Structure 1
Amino acid sequence: MTERLDELASAMRELTQALEHDDQENVVFSTICAEAVRAIPEADLASITAIHDGQAETAASTDPRADEIDRAQYTIGEGPCLRAAATGEVVRISVPEAGEVWPDFVAAAKQFDVGSYLAAPLRADETVTGALNLFGFGDSGFRTLESDVLTVYTTVVGFGLRTAQRYREAQLRADQLDQALRSRGVIEQAKGMLMAIHRIDEDAAMQRLIAESQSTNTKLREVARRFVDTVRKRD
């Protein structure tokens, strides 16, 4: 048990580093899959099912065989990964015992010698849901312990993904605000130059900038920047 907890803790440390330093979704999802296999030694393959606007796709996997088994479920619209995503509950099965419920899934799993399957719901944000799927070559099925470990892991993963998303959104808003302030600054500068050169008031200077923007189909801040640069070059 202690060894299992050590593996889980180590996997979570690696996952945290990926969330902190990688902003590419495919890299993060691939790390999530790889560390899930590391945290749960009974798992031989892993994949992430992402469902957006009702469409399911495999966002990442550790092996093409996992993609094929996922695809069989997407094609028929049912299977353990889709049930986990839809119900928010962990699905733990022995593949040979699932033939009556999901015959197409079982056929695909057996084709690649997968005998055990474990899927836990995973929510990345308010619009994207899915599941983290584990595949085992043994047919005894994952135990309750593996199910509990995966539940803990996906809870941390979901929290990390949502936190990272909120950080990116906050950073985007900060960048947009910075851009807006920079744009406003150069526009104010251009207005001041126009007022001094042509001895006009602030409204008239602004109207000149707007007229130039509309006639040239150029953004206002770009018109202002060009004007400021031109005046500076003359000086």
Structure 2
Amino acid sequence: MDVDAAAFSLVFDGANVGTFGASDSRARVYDEMQFVVGEGPCLDAVARCVPVMVADLADAGEHRWPAYGPMMIAQEIRGVYAMPVAVAGEYVGALDFFRTVPGDLSREQIAGMAVAAELVQLPLLDLLSKDLRAGFTDPSSNAWADLNALSRTEVSQATGMLMAQLNLTAASALARLRAHAYASGRSATSIARDIIDRRLFLEAD
């Protein structure tokens, strides 16, 4: 498909909460940037239930992601393309593709991405029990919460530690972790690991 990297993002309650697969370590970083800043193609693809295609993030008319866009350009990524992924009729994430060279995709490339987005459902289904799969049709089930629990374990653990250390709510602790990741130019997962391993201590306001 003439892309340089790819990653599958799990999206829960409007937020990128997990990287379930990545072509390499660079792709994982690109995907995590969406989690850090709370914006990006995977979130838009799931929210709108349509593919999101950006031929050139450096285009003067491209303003969709004021934080994510410049971060990706700094990583020498110019083209981003996100295909929404549905499981049991629910959009659960997006398969993101990244290119260093800007440009529109051919119909063959777009078709290949659509097929890849369908294939990415298979490992997700393997992760889900029969009860969880059935839960998608039951409004009272905890299917989404169970899916969320499968992702970014380290971030969740570090958030809990910050809650206890700094007497913060869960939302405030997570915001503090994400802000530190953004300010330091690192991934949220790497910051979380440092907190868990007690190599990093964040101060209270």
Partner of 1:152: 115
Structure 1: which amino acid aligns with 2:105? F
Question: 1:105 and 1:99, CA in 2 relative to 1: closer, same or farther beyond 3 A?
Answer: farther
Deviation at 1:49, TM superposition (A): 0.4
Provide structure 1 residue ranges, at least 5 long, that are not aligned to the other structure: 1-39, 171-235
Question: 1:128 and 1:59, CA in 2 relative to 1: closer, same or farther beyond 3 A?
Answer: farther
Q: Counterparts of 1:157 and 1:72 in 2: how far apart (Å)? A: 21
Structure 2: which amino acid aligns with 1:82? L
Q: Counterparts of 1:126 and 1:161 in 2: how far apart (Å)? A: 16
Structure 2: which amino acid aligns with 1:114? I
Partner of 1:43: 3
Q: Counterparts of 1:122 and 1:130 in 2: how far apart (Å)? A: 5
Partner of 2:66: 103
Question: 1:53 and 1:43, CA in 2 relative to 1: closer, same or farther beyond 3 A?
Answer: same
The answer to whether 1:76 aligns with 2:30 is no
Higher relative contact order (CA 8 A, sep 6+): 2
Partner of 1:91: 52
Q: Counterparts of 2:116 and 2:98 in 1: how far apart (Å)? A: 16
TM-score of the two chains, using structure 1 as the length reference: 0.47
The answer to whether the Cα contact below 8 Å between 1:122 and 1:132 also exists between their aligned partners in 2 is yes
Q: Counterparts of 1:87 and 1:119 in 2: how far apart (Å)? A: 11
Residue-by-residue CA offset, 1:121-172 (whole Å, 9 max, x unaligned): 01245677000011111112433331222112323443x3576467x539xx
The answer to whether the Cα contact below 8 Å between 2:84 and 2:91 also exists between their aligned partners in 1 is no
Question: 1:161 and 1:66, CA in 2 relative to 1: closer, same or farther beyond 3 A?
Answer: closer
Structure 2: which amino acid aligns with 1:115? R
- Give the number of aligned pairs: 128
Structure 2: which amino acid aligns with 1:144? R
Counterpart secondary structure, 1:96? coil
The answer to whether the Cα contact below 8 Å between 1:85 and 1:129 also exists between their aligned partners in 2 is yes
Structure 2: which amino acid aligns with 1:96? A
Structure 2: which amino acid aligns with 1:100? H
TM-score of the two chains, using structure 2 as the length reference: 0.53
Question: 1:93 and 1:86, CA in 2 relative to 1: closer, same or farther beyond 3 A?
Answer: same
Which entry has the higher C-alpha Rg, 1 or 2?
1
Query: RMSD of the alignment, in Å?
Result: 2.7
Counterpart secondary structure, 1:78? coil
Identity level (%):
23
Structure 1: which amino acid aligns with 2:94? A
Deviation at 1:43, TM superposition (A): 1.1
Provide structure 2 residue ranges, at least 5 long, that are not aligned to the other structure: 132-205
Q: Counterparts of 1:59 and 1:163 in 2: how far apart (Å)? A: 12
The answer to whether the Cα contact below 8 Å between 1:124 and 1:161 also exists between their aligned partners in 2 is no
Partner of 1:196: none
Question: 1:105 and 1:144, CA in 2 relative to 1: closer, same or farther beyond 3 A?
Answer: farther
Partner of 1:121: 84
Q: Counterparts of 1:54 and 1:117 in 2: how far apart (Å)? A: 19
